[in-house]
Amino acid sequence: MATIEHSAIIKASPERVFALLERVEDFADYSDLIQAIEPLGGDHYRWHVHAVGMDWTFDVAITESRAPKVLAWESLDGVRNQGCYRLTPVEEGTEVALTLTYTIRNRLLEKAVNRAARPLVGKVSRQILERVEARL
């Protein structure tokens, strides 16, 4: 299992930041790599991502939504992954910490994904948080 972490400070209250993060279908507006996110009903979403020269589609379920502190999810198919945004009030606004873990069963594929995933997830996370802050 691999873990990727990223954090940033957003100059807004946790309540305002969380209000944007919980609108999962809007994440397509926050990153160039996310082509679309389809709401499937309840807390389930189908993500369409173009990364490392390939199109990826996977379904995700929100597993925890505790405003304004935690938003967590896990994949339902494709690459097994789980992620969590934790929001903490700080003097400058809100610290947003992302933790993403994933497991790939094929060792050759895992090595390739690991090389690409860390910078890719970092880029997507930075884009999302920068664009969320810009909206606020």
Mean pLDDT of 109-124: 65
Average pLDDT over residues 32-41: 91
Whole-angstrom CA distances from 135 to 83, 85, 105, 129 are 23, 18, 38, 10
Tokens of 23: 């609108």
pLDDT tens column, 15-34: 999 999 999 999 888 888 88
**Residue whose entry in the numeric block shows the structure tokens 């304004």:** 68
